[in-house]
Amino acid sequence: MFWYHEQTKHSYASVRSNPNQLDWSSQPSTYKNYPDTYPKRQLDLDNEEDSFLYHIAGLTAKKSYPGFEYYLRINPSAGALYPHELYFQGRGVEGVEDGIYHYEVATHSIALVASISGEEGLEPYLGYAHAMQGYLFLVSAIYYRSSWKYKNRALRYCLLDAGHLLGSIESAALLKPHAVQMHYVIEREKLNRMFGFEQREFFLSAATMAIPVKGQKIKAVEFSLPYVEGSGTFEPNEKIMQAYRETISLQGCQKVLKAPKFDYRRDKLRETIFARRSHRGFEGGAITKAQFFYIMERITQPILSDCDEEVAIYAVLNRVLDMPLGIQKEGVYIKHGDFSRKAGYLCLEQYSLAAKGAVTFFLTSKATNYQAMYQKAGIIGHRIYIASNYLGIGCSGIGAYYDDEVNAFLENDEMVLYALAIGR
């Protein structure tokens, strides 16, 4: 098992002996904005392409508390800390000048950070030999936004959140509609240097929604951007950086070429994407058997990817009408009984979520490509959000759990990647 995962496990003892003491004076900003010397354009939501970009990562709501407020986004994030940034290359996109952009969430704008020509672009860094017409997205993480609160375990959250952002690209693409290809075999180190990240930010993955331009060979664009602050405050974490560096190289990757099939109604899906929220707790309401199967059918669709890793989906059925209580793995019962209280305990005693929810999911893997498998878990998690919310069912991602006790409960020795609860 990867040393980083082993060293960042939670246990009943560890969460009590090492409680987080947050320094609120050093809380990092969750927004990165390029200086006004970079050309910028505010998104026009009446424009189809701009609306598409907004439905990937736009702001949707504001939460206010005494002396404190924060904004929610279309894509979920652990603790609403949003460590990720979204960059993209647009080529041949109506209304978008060919170039490389940064999506500025705070201002609903895109900033042109580098120009491209018809003979050069980001394509070779993602493994393409020809120009690609459409969007090439890059997902990065400013890890201190997460490690400020979650310490060494923060890389797990950065990877899950990156997976959610990839899933958000996938769901927004259904509004057009187009398929999205996930890329993990990318030249991260070269891209990190070109974008001037200085080991405070790093790329995790890419996604493409584009078609090849026949006969148009392409060469790698090269540039050197100056560092742009993305968190305000910063403390280096060598354990996170070491784990990142050691998981950059991928081995034995298997491609998935079969596209997923979804049948969401576009108008209702648009509303679902915009209204998505993470529930704070459930009241113990049940879902129907048909709803459970509807969700399972959509979250098990293939994910177009250049490095697919096996991720097992366990479902603890607590309140599904006309279905026995128990645990399913890949749709087959492996245990019967009422495990709702146990599920709540395993998720750091978040009983209002995992015990009162209708279903609690645990995602695990024994794969070797850590970054790819963790982000795949985030994509699956995002599909659970979308499918559940589409049916009017609440959902909440749970990134903290008693790792080894979950393994004992599921009777496996795989890495536990994610837990999610759905319900009413």
Q: Are residues 244 and 271 in the same domain?
A: no
Pick the last residue of a domain from 202, 221, 249: 249
Q: Are residues 244 and 272 in the same domain?
A: no
In a domain? residue 399: yes
Q: Are residues 168 and 285 in the same domain?
A: no
How many other CB atoms are there within 10 angstroms of residue 232's CB atom? 14
Pick the last residue of a domain from 214, 249, 284: 249
In a domain? residue 260: no
Q: Are residues 282 and 190 in the same domain?
A: no
Q: Are residues 362 and 410 in the same domain?
A: yes
In a domain? residue 255: no
**How many separate domains does the chain show?**
2
In what helix (H) or strand (E) does residue 40 lie, and over which residues does it extend?
A: strand 40-42
Give the C-alpha separation, 163 to 299, whole Å: 14
In a domain? residue 259: no
In a domain? residue 378: yes
Q: Are residues 47 and 182 in the same domain?
A: yes
Q: Which long-range contacts (CB under 8 A, 24 or more apart) does 333-337 make?
A: 334/411
Q: Are residues 137 and 207 in the same domain?
A: yes
Q: Are residues 234 and 289 in the same domain?
A: no
Q: Which domain holds residue 145?
A: 3-249
Q: Are residues 419 and 301 in the same domain?
A: yes
In a domain? residue 66: yes
Give the C-alpha separation, 16 to 21, whole Å: 12
In a domain? residue 370: yes
Q: Are residues 245 and 286 in the same domain?
A: no
Pick the last residue of a domain from 220, 249, 278: 249
* pTM for the full predicted model: 0.97
Give the C-alpha separation, 71 to 62, whole Å: 4
Q: Are residues 14 and 144 in the same domain?
A: yes
* Distance in angstroms between the alpha carbons of the first and the last residue of the chain: 36
C-alpha pair distances (Å), 301 with each of 185, 256, 297, 385? 22, 11, 7, 15
In a domain? residue 261: no
Peptide bond into 324 cis (omega under 30): no
Q: Are residues 216 and 287 in the same domain?
A: no
pLDDT tens by residue, the chain, 424 residues: 599 999 999 999 999 887 777 888 889 999 999 999 999 999 999 999 999 999 999 999 877 666 666 788 999 999 999 999 999 999 999 999 999 999 999 999 999 999 999 999 999 999 999 999 999 999 999 999 999 999 999 999 999 999 999 999 999 999 998 899 999 999 999 999 999 999 999 999 999 999 999 989 999 999 999 999 999 999 999 999 999 999 999 999 999 999 999 999 999 999 999 999 899 899 999 999 999 999 999 999 999 999 999 999 999 999 999 999 999 999 999 999 999 999 999 999 999 999 999 999 999 999 999 999 999 999 999 999 999 999 999 999 999 999 999 999 999 999 999 999 999 9
Question: Which CATH number does the domain housing residue 292 bear?
Answer: 3.40.109.10
Provide DSSP, 103-149: EETTTTEEEEEEE--TTEESGGGGT-SEEEEEEEEEEEE-THHHHHH
